[in-house]
Amino acid sequence: MPLDILLLGPPGAGKGTQAKRIEDERGVPQISTGDMLREAIAGGSELGAEVQPIVERGDLVPDELIVRVIRQRLERDDTAGGFILDGFPRTIPQAVALDEMLGEIGRSLSVVLEFVLDEQEAVDRLVGRAVEEGRTDDDPEIIRHRFVVWREQTLPLTEHYAGSGKLVSVDAAQPVDEVYETIDRHLREACA
């Protein structure tokens, strides 16, 4: 059975860090739409030019565009044994599109890990990351806007997945290693 993992949670909750760790330990690829878009921007592709102003404002790129990107990504062979979705879906229409895409290939999510973190703590982490990584969307004004977008468009996904029986919550305020231990326990249960 493929290990198809979805990470939910606000910006700054540590999804990317944990996704990399799961990838290293379990050999399933991290699929980060934010990383993919930043690479497209840095590479100067047509897609990059289209999404750059949107990403820099902290808005979401159009659903049909990101669904197309994900569809192509999920067709690659390295997802045969599973994947870790980090940053997608971010809207209800994206979640519906994902359900359809997985249905077409006879798969369904193994587990939905919801990272729970106080908003102020998440903002503080992002401000720290801005200094370390220099991301243009980690400016304080833009960070606040990304949280508004997250609350309005992405938070409702919890409800979308609540009925699936796959949703588990992870206290993302714990130290990184403890967060990973919690995740690992949930993954073992999901595989059992």
Tell me whether the omega of the peptide bond preceding residue 156 falls within 30 degrees of 0, making it cis: no
- Binds ligand AMP by CB under 6 A, chosen from 4, 9, 30, 90: 90
Helix (H/G/I), strand (E/B), else coil: 31: strand
- In the annotation, is 15 catalytic? yes
| 87: contact with ligand AMP by CB under 6 A | yes
- Binds ligand AMP by CB under 6 A, chosen from 5, 19, 31, 37: 37
Catalytic residue among 20, 71, 107, 135: 135
The DSSP output letter for 139 is: S
- In the annotation, is 129 catalytic? yes
Residue 113 contacts residue 183 (beta carbons within 8 Å): yes
Which class for 97: exposed (0-12), middle (13-18), buried (19 or more C-beta within 10 A)? Answer: buried
Pick the closest to residue 122 from 7, 21, 14 (CA basis). 14
Helix (H/G/I), strand (E/B), else coil: 125: helix
Please, what is the minimum distance in Å from the beta carbon of residue 87 to ligand AMP?
3
Please, what is the minimum distance in Å from the beta carbon of residue 56 to ligand AMP?
8
- In the annotation, is 166 catalytic? no
| 19: contact with ligand AMP by CB under 6 A | no
Catalytic residue among 73, 90, 125, 166: 90
Please provide residue 85's backbone torsions phi and psi, each rounded to the nearest 5 degrees.
Answer: -85, 125
* Interacting residue ranges for ligand AMP, rule: CB under 6 A: 11, 33-34, 37, 54-55, 58-61, 66, 87-90, 94, 137, 146
Which residues have a catalytic role annotated?
15, 90, 129, 135, 146
